[in-house]
Structure formats: C-alpha cells, structure tokens
Amino acid sequence: MLGDEPVGTGCVVQARLVGVIEAEQTGRDGKTTRNDRSIAIAAESDNLSHINSLHELNEHLVLEIEQFFMLYNTAAGKEFKPLGR
C-alpha cells in the first residue's frame, strides 16, 4: 500500500480524477493553444481519500498547483494562463 508517501519519477500509480484546471498556453512563437491540466489523487491516498472534487481541495493547494504550471512554463519561455476549474 502506498499511503501518502512520495514515489519516484516514472512510477505508475493508480489514481482517480478529481478535476481539471482549464488553461491556455502561449509558446515562444506567440501561438496560443488550449492546455488543460487534469488533477488526480492517488487511489491509495490515506490523507485525501475523502476528496471527490477539485473544489473540495484546499484553495491554497490549488493555487500552488496553478502557480507551479505558470512558473514551469515561464522557465521554458512560454506563458500558462489558468482560465477556470
């Protein structure tokens, strides 16, 4: 059982979808495309087993996830703009 321990890169973990962050991404070429992000919780999570929807997650955590994608894309010379949840 995984519980809530971190796993290494490349590991496959059964998960359940709890929501989507709708977003647009603008590349270095200026072309904007839709780039939504699915948010899932590990099926064996002990701490988050009660979560069934993105709206049930802590608002600060969801903002941190959005900020991660914004900063990750900025570092790659792109722009990530959340549109909704």
One-letter amino acid identity for 5?
Answer: E
Q: Return the higher-pLDDT residue of 4 and 18.
A: 18
pLDDT on residue 52: 95
In the block, residue with structure tokens 């699915």: 38
pLDDT at 1 over 80: no
Give residue-wise pLDDT tens across range 24-44.
999 999 999 999 999 999 998
**pTM for this predicted structure:** 0.84
Distance (Å, rounded) from C-alpha 82 to C-alpha 36? 8
pLDDT on residue 4: 78
Q: What is the DSSP letter of 73?
A: H
Cβ 67 vs Cβ 25: under 8 Å = no
